[in-house]
């Protein structure tokens, strides 16, 4: 249920919050530009009892939240969320580019990439230290050594870093080094992991599962937000279809559909969606045109030598060229970088 407050006074809001909690519900206060609301979430069965709060002073009205995703939905928060990753902003008109190698391989590889993507205008450095690979015999990542390199590269070039976390046990380690936590496609419905990152104070970059619906992606975001972490960035990275020409099929329609339902920022990853470096620039442009709040792009100084995802990685110069091409387009859709 949404309790729309007639007052923005802290004491009045706190009073209603304690009433909500007395009834056994979790209260999330959402301070918007136009109004303050309290989202009362919990067991749907007793929700009629919340309706009685309409009789309280300073309560304007109590209305049900119709969608199954409560806190992630636009019903409780009309305006776009702006999420901060270190000094970088994404959402609500702020466009953000996450760029870097698929995996952290060496100091030289990471530093060359970080320097180049920073100079080209990227905002956040990406790179995997724990890699979810289809084969257990493939390179699994540099683990803590990779995290140390990421933190150092980020500090050297002035880029916050995002990296994937695969298990709950990795959380304290990854949190220590990263500015944002990535949940990969394979873990989108790992509910234990979602709850764990929901308790973290770091923003979460949540990738859509390869066979997940938009509703399922939003419900996964709800797991994180309902644990107290409102800073979730959604990422469409291609879904599996019958098409074999490309690695996955980029669901570009997911952008406007997600924007209709959620206030959370939406990012497109054209690298994993297509699987081919030459498809990345046109799909990146399509993402901007469709209304995405950002892009995640794999970049490597020597894609032919990459230990993972070389075929879809842009060379440093090609990435810089793409960033120049995107600049005018981002301005045209009314966003800033
Ligand atoms: C990645 O970003 O490196 C990655 C493994 O992506 P996904 O989870 O989308 O496959
Ligand atoms: Mn990859």
- H runs (alpha helix) in 61-170: 107-120, 144-157
Each residue's pLDDT tens digit, 138-191: 999 999 999 999 999 999 999 999 999 999 999 999 999 999 999 999 999 999
Distance in angstroms (rounded) separating the CA atoms of residues 232 and 248: 23
- Tell how strand 88-90 and strand 96-100 pair up: unpaired
Check pLDDT > 90 for residue 47.
Answer: no
> How many A from CA of 149 to the centre of ligand 2?
18
Nearest to 205 by CA among 65, 76, 334, 100: 100
Q: Residues 20, 46: contact at Cβ < 8 Å?
A: no
Check pLDDT > 90 for residue 32.
Answer: no
User: Which residue do the tokens 């959620």 mark?
Assistant: 262
pLDDT at 266: 98
Each residue's pLDDT tens digit, 90-139: 999 999 999 999 999 999 999 999 999 999 999 999 999 999 999 999 99
Atom of ligand 1 nearest to the CA of 131: 5
Helix (H, G, I), strand (E, B) or coil at 236: strand
Ligand 1 pocket, CB under 6 A = 102, 128, 132, 184-186, 207, 237, 272
Atom of ligand 1 nearest to the CA of 128: 3
Chain Cα centroid distance, residue 126: 13
Segment among 32-46, 115-129, 285-299 with least mean pLDDT? 32-46
Q: Which domains are assigned to the chain?
A: 2-63 (3.30.70.1140), 83-332 (3.20.20.70)
Q: How far apart are the first and last CA of the chain?
A: 36
Ligand 1 pocket test target in 104, 134, 240, 269 with most atoms within 8 Å of CB: 269
CA dihedral 81, 79, 328, 248 (to 10 degrees): 60
Categorize the per-residue pLDDT at 215 as very low, low, confident or very high, splitting at 50, 70 and 90: very high
User: Which residue do the tokens 């320097």 mark?
Assistant: 115
Check pLDDT > 90 for residue 33.
Answer: no
Q: What is the pTM of this model?
A: 0.96
């Amino acid at each position: 249920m949404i309790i729309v407050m007639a007052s923005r006074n802290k004491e009045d809001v706190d009073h209603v919050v304690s009433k909500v909690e007395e009834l056994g519900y979790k209260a999330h206060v959402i301070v918007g530009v136009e109004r303050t609301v309290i989202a009362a979430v919990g067991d749907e069965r007793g929700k009629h009892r919340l309706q009685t709060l309409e009789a309280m002073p300073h309560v304007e009205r109590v209305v049900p939240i119709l969608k199954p995703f409560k806190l992630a939905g636009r019903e409780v928060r009309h305006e776009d969320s702006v999420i901060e990753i270190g000094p970088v902003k994404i959402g609500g008109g702020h466009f953000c580019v996450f760029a870097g190698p698929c995996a952290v391989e060496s100091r030289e590889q990471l530093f060359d990439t970080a320097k180049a993507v920073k100079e080209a205008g990227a905002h956040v450095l990406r790179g995997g230290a724990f890699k979810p690979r289809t084969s257990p015999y493939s390179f699994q990542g540099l683990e803590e050594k990779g995290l140390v390199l990421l933190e150092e590269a980020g500090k050297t070039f002035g880029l916050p870093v995002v990296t994937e976390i695969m298990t709950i046990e990795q959380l304290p380690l990854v949190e220590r080094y990263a500015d944002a936590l990535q949940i990969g496609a394979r873990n989108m419905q790992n509910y234990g992991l979602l709850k764990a990152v929901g308790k973290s104070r770091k923003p979460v970059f949540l990738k859509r599962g390869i066979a997940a619906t938009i509703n399922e992606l939003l419900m996964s975001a709800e797991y994180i937000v309902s644990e107290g972490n409102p800073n979730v960035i959604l990422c469409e990275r291609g879904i599996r279809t019958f098409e074999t020409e490309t690695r996955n099929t980029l669901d570009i329609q997911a952008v406007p559909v997600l924007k209709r339902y959620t206030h959370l920022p939406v990012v497109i990853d054209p690298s994993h969606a297509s699987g081919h470096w030459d498809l990345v620039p046109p799909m990146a442009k399509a993402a901007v045109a469709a209304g995405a709040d950002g892009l995640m792009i794999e970049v490597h100084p020597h894609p032919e030598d990459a230990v993972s995802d070389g075929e879809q990685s842009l060379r440093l110069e090609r990435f810089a060229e793409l960033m120049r091409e995107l600049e005018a387009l981002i301005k045209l859709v009314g966003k800033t970088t």
